[in-house]
């Protein structure tokens, strides 16, 4: 038995609906920024992996005392790159088949980036060859990781060193190209 009439309080249907409306508006404004953060993280993850693999190919060429190459391909299903021995034409990868090398070429590592990730790996050269004696690269080139939030470029100089930047400062945390 209630000794004090009116002391029990609950929420009305109107109060519940107002709370739900405010929560929906807050969630609706947070979701796009959350999706943008995920896209930036995805792009930066691929870019960091590519920069690491460019250095890995150079280091591995010297360690194996064997010329190594990093080659780039893309098709409508995505993009990929492979670290391998032999010529560029001796290896390939695509969205429908795993990396494959012919002749005496050997695939060491392949990274495939599906188009569904909305990130693409591109380069202004078909491949970069690393010399085993000096770690130098031929030709010099720029490998790009591009997506909706911007792009990150990895510029490989003749010494085989990698400098990362973002064109027009489109990606925070990287110097402008």
Cα–Cα distance, 70 to 72 (Å, whole number): 7
* Phi and psi angles of residue 134, each rounded to the nearest 5 degrees, phi first: -120, -10
Quote the number of domains for the chain. 1
Cα separations in angstroms, 127 against 62, 73, 114, 139: 18, 9, 20, 8
- Do residues 132 and 152 lie in contact, with contact meaning Cβ atoms separated by under 8 Å? no
Would you place residue 169 in the very low, low, confident or very high pLDDT band (cuts 50, 70, 90)? confident
The CATH number that applies at residue 163 is: 3.55.40.10
Report yes or no on 63 lying in a domain. Answer: yes
Predicted TM-score of the model (pTM): 0.80
Report yes or no on 74 lying in a domain. Answer: yes
Number of other residues whose CB lies within 10 A of the CB of residue 85: 19
Would you place residue 8 in the very low, low, confident or very high pLDDT band (cuts 50, 70, 90)? low
- Do residues 154 and 50 lie in contact, with contact meaning Cβ atoms separated by under 8 Å? yes
Cα–Cα distance, 100 to 158 (Å, whole number): 28
Q: What is the DSSP letter of 82?
A: E
- Length of the chain, please? 177
Residues 112, 40, 55, 154: is their CA dihedral positive or negative?
positive
Report yes or no on 7 lying in a domain. Answer: no
Cα–Cα distance, 40 to 35 (Å, whole number): 9
Check residue 16 and give its pLDDT: 75
Q: Over pLDDT 70: what percentage of the chain?
A: 91
pLDDT in tens, 114-145: 999 999 999 999 999 999 999 999 999 999 99
Report yes or no on 174 lying in a domain. Answer: no
Output 2 or 86, whichever has higher pLDDT: 86
Q: 143: domain range?
A: 13-169
Would you place residue 27 in the very low, low, confident or very high pLDDT band (cuts 50, 70, 90)? low
Report yes or no on 67 lying in a domain. Answer: yes
Report yes or no on 175 lying in a domain. Answer: no
Would you place residue 4 in the very low, low, confident or very high pLDDT band (cuts 50, 70, 90)? low
Please state the rounded mean pLDDT for residues 67-81: 95
Report yes or no on 4 lying in a domain. Answer: no
Report yes or no on 105 lying in a domain. Answer: yes
Would you place residue 17 in the very low, low, confident or very high pLDDT band (cuts 50, 70, 90)? confident
């Amino acid at each position: 038995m209630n000794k004090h009439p009116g002391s029990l309080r609950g929420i009305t249907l109107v109060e519940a609906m107002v709370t739900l409306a405010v929560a929906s508006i807050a969630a609706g404004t947070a979701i796009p920024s959350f999706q943008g953060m995920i896209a930036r993280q995805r792009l930066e993850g691929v870019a960091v992996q590519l920069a690491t693999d460019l250095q890995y190919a150079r280091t591995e060429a010297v360690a194996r005392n064997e010329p190594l190459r990093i080659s780039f391909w893309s098709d409508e299903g995505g993009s990929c790159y492979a670290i391998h021995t032999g010529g560029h034409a001796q290896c390939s990868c695509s969205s429908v088949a795993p990396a494959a090398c012919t002749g005496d070429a050997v695939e060491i590592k392949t990274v495939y980036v599906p188009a569904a990730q909305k990130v693409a790996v591109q380069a202004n050269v078909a491949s970069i060859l690393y010399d085993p004696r000096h770690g130098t690269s031929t030709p010099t080139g720029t490998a790009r990781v591009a997506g909706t939030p911007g792009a990150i470029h990895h510029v490989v100089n003749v010494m085989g060193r990698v400098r990362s930047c973002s064109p027009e400062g489109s990606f925070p945390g990287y110097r402008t190209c």
